[in-house]
Structure 1
Amino acid sequence: MSEFLQRACPACGVSHTREEAHSPVRAETMTVEALRPFWSGLFSEKRFFTYHRCLGCGLLYNPAFFDRERLGKLYSSMAPNMEIVSNDAIAATQKGYFDAVRGEFDGGYLEIGPDAGHIVREATTRGSFEHFWLFEPNRAIHDTLRASAGGEPATLLTDMDDLSPVPDRSVGLAVMVHVLDHLLDPLAMLTQIRAKLRPGGTLLIVTHNEKSLLRRVMGTRWPPFCLQHPELYNPATITALLGRAGYAGVQVTRSRNYFPLPFLVRQAAWTLGLKLDLVPLPDVSLGLRLGNMLTLATAPAQAATDSEPWLAAAE
């Protein structure tokens, strides 16, 4: 019997697919223990579950994947990210994400997976939110995250699957940066968030774009093809998913990310099978629109109050 979860499309429930991308050794042919060394590390040898294209909605996803229990254990044992993307580059990138959100907000601020709180810091200095609801499973950075809230009323929670502590229809802005493509059930999470948004409230999502030029150039060496992404999105599939979860006014744009020049050169060399670890390069950052997309969506003014609006629509 397989160690892995076997699932239909997490966006539309259809089981009919077309295979699209696989690693030299397919992850589903290995054991969980054998996959542990490949769980993290951008420049290590590739192992990932075979990606299939859903023939119902077009989502690119893994029909075979880790179950929730094994996934939790893998994340809990994950070493700190020591790649050479500097804190300044990360802060500049996430400041740009907040810049993309237009208008003034009232009510609460909700973020799933805020990490050290770069966008939280922007929200405290440039917004007027009543309360910050921050769902971050890594307790080791909670003190840093709380400091990012700058003394504003803030609740920090570790269970990212349960948003019940947040009052319904209380949030003006919700944020998910590189979180949605890590979730086994993205539709359920988006539906939970919509219930927490005020009518007209905004959801900001950042994900990889599997239809990007970078993905086509890099092929199966594209970094988002990895063990941590059970599904990957493009503008059409994320728009359809948000519609299914009850959102309106979806806008998708390419996001600008800041990368240190040594990181970019190293990644380009790795794609070509070269190593340039010892070559000195200037420590400067470049802002590029490479492979990621930023999505904004709105909770309709007359949003349904039930937790599963797609079921009602199907009846």
Structure 2
Amino acid sequence: MQLLERAQRNCPVCGSSPDRAKIFFDEHIDSSKLNEFSFASRKEPEYLCYQMVQCSSCDLVYVDRPPSQQALAEVYHAADYDSSEEADDAASAYARVIRPALRQLKLGRALEIGTGTGVFLDKLKQLGFETVAGIEPSTAAIAAAPAHRHDWIREGIFVEGDYEPESFDLICCFMTLEHVREPAEITRSVMRLLRPGGAFVTVTHDYRSIVNRLMGRRSPIIDIEHMQLFSARSIAALFDRNGYTNVQVKPFVNRYSLRYWTRLAPLPSGIKSFAQQTIATLGIAGIKIPMNVGNTVALGFKPSNQRA
């Protein structure tokens, strides 16, 4: 299996050697538990992960021996998709959190890396962007998109050369930087694709958040999909080291159904099944509940006097 063919890497944010890092999570891989949803978005947690180490320089937690980018691209291409409701809820939260930043931007062209069904592209159009585009590796996610979004979405992994330099006013990357092998490469590519004064916005998990620290190994962020886990300090370091200015990092609230929160809860399978049946019987599974679950939005700008 290609996912088990791995090579050592340095910290993908600051380049420090893994020799200077400490073990954060021991490896726990069970190939028999991998299926078509293992690399799908917003799945039920499996609690599988590669060994992860904590960088002593920038605070990133990362897989020190990850699969190749090609192997990751192949599994995401083949991943199934069944989270349209949650994707809609997430897109609404992202639209709320970026709205203040839009006052500083020209609402011309926007790109979303890891766009899924393109639901956030609809939000960007509603917010006033003239042109939107998305890139998504999952065939199933694109197939689940309504017809009017198909022309906006390119299938594949993000490649800088597919786009013109300095051609976007906003580039977004939500819950995707954890999944790639080289987040710094993407961050540098985004800088070159932004027009001067344009913005890069990401959403990532914060492994140092209270909820994730309380759950420990039972947190949904401990997952075979995640090649790295950020903290507020390490996501800020990623932006700062790659030339972004006015970098802002803050937590925010997600609003999902009780059904989804129950699916994520670190409960024994029998108790979880009973809870899911109970809320369905009571007719409350679809109630939307706002909660801060340790997600962080980071925003940075390309200097207005900088050219690609």
- The TM-score normalised by the length of structure 1 is 0.82
Counterpart amino acid of residue 107 in structure 1 = G
Please give the residue correspondences for 1:113-128 in structure 2 after superposition, counting only pairs within 5 Å.
113-128=114-129
| TM superposition shift of 1:89 | 2.8
Match of 1:267 in 2: 264
| TM superposition shift of 1:134 | 1.8
Secondary structure in structure 2 of the residue aligned to 1:46: coil
Secondary structure in structure 2 of the residue aligned to 1:133: strand
Match of 1:194 in 2: 191
Task: Please tell me whether the aligned partners of residues 204 and 294 of structure 1 are also in contact (alpha carbons under 8 angstroms).
Answer: yes
Taking a change above 3 Å as real, the CA distance of residues 156 and 277 of structure 1, as seen in their structure-2 partners, is closer
1:149-205 alpha-carbon deviations (Å, 9 max, x no partner): 8xxxx6532233312232212211111111111110111111111111111111111
Match of 2:302 in 1: 299
Identity of aligned residues (%): 24
Secondary structure in structure 2 of the residue aligned to 1:277: helix
Q: Is 1:278 matched with 2:281?
A: no
Match of 1:3 in 2: 5
1:4-24 alpha-carbon deviations (Å, 9 max, x no partner): 22211111221121011236x
- Counterpart of 1:258 (choices 255, 258, 261) is 255
| TM superposition shift of 1:100 | 4.5
2:115 and 2:229 mapped to 1: Cα distance?
20
Task: Please tell me whether the aligned partners of residues 98 and 122 of structure 1 are also in contact (alpha carbons under 8 angstroms).
Answer: no
Match of 1:313 in 2: none
Deviates more, 1:71-80 or 1:290-299: 71-80
| TM superposition shift of 1:270 | 1.4
Task: Please tell me whether the aligned partners of residues 62 and 229 of structure 2 are also in contact (alpha carbons under 8 angstroms).
Answer: yes
Deviates more, 1:289-298 or 1:3-12: 3-12
Match of 2:38 in 1: 39
Taking a change above 3 Å as real, the CA distance of residues 82 and 142 of structure 1, as seen in their structure-2 partners, is closer
Taking a change above 3 Å as real, the CA distance of residues 166 and 87 of structure 1, as seen in their structure-2 partners, is closer
| TM superposition shift of 1:229 | 0.6
- Counterpart of 1:287 (choices 290, 293, 296) is 290
| TM superposition shift of 1:213 | 0.8
Q: Is 1:18 matched with 2:22?
A: yes
Secondary structure in structure 1 of the residue aligned to 2:243: coil
2:145 and 2:45 mapped to 1: Cα distance?
30
Match of 1:65 in 2: 66
Q: Is 1:232 matched with 2:229?
A: yes
Taking a change above 3 Å as real, the CA distance of residues 196 and 69 of structure 1, as seen in their structure-2 partners, is closer
| TM superposition shift of 1:287 | 1.7
| TM superposition shift of 1:124 | 1.2
Task: Please tell me whether the aligned partners of residues 196 and 307 of structure 2 are also in contact (alpha carbons under 8 angstroms).
Answer: no
- The TM-score normalised by the length of structure 2 is 0.84
Secondary structure in structure 2 of the residue aligned to 1:237: helix
Task: Please tell me whether the aligned partners of residues 96 and 256 of structure 1 are also in contact (alpha carbons under 8 angstroms).
Answer: no
Secondary structure in structure 2 of the residue aligned to 1:144: coil
| TM superposition shift of 1:45 | 4.3
Match of 1:311 in 2: none
1:143 and 1:81 mapped to 2: Cα distance?
9
1:190 and 1:98 mapped to 2: Cα distance?
18
Match of 1:138 in 2: 138
Task: Please tell me whether the aligned partners of residues 77 and 156 of structure 2 are also in contact (alpha carbons under 8 angstroms).
Answer: no
Secondary structure in structure 1 of the residue aligned to 2:169: strand
Counterpart amino acid of residue 255 in structure 2 = Y
Secondary structure in structure 1 of the residue aligned to 2:48: coil
Taking a change above 3 Å as real, the CA distance of residues 145 and 66 of structure 1, as seen in their structure-2 partners, is farther
Please give the residue correspondences for 1:171-182 in structure 2 after superposition, counting only pairs within 5 Å.
171-182=168-179
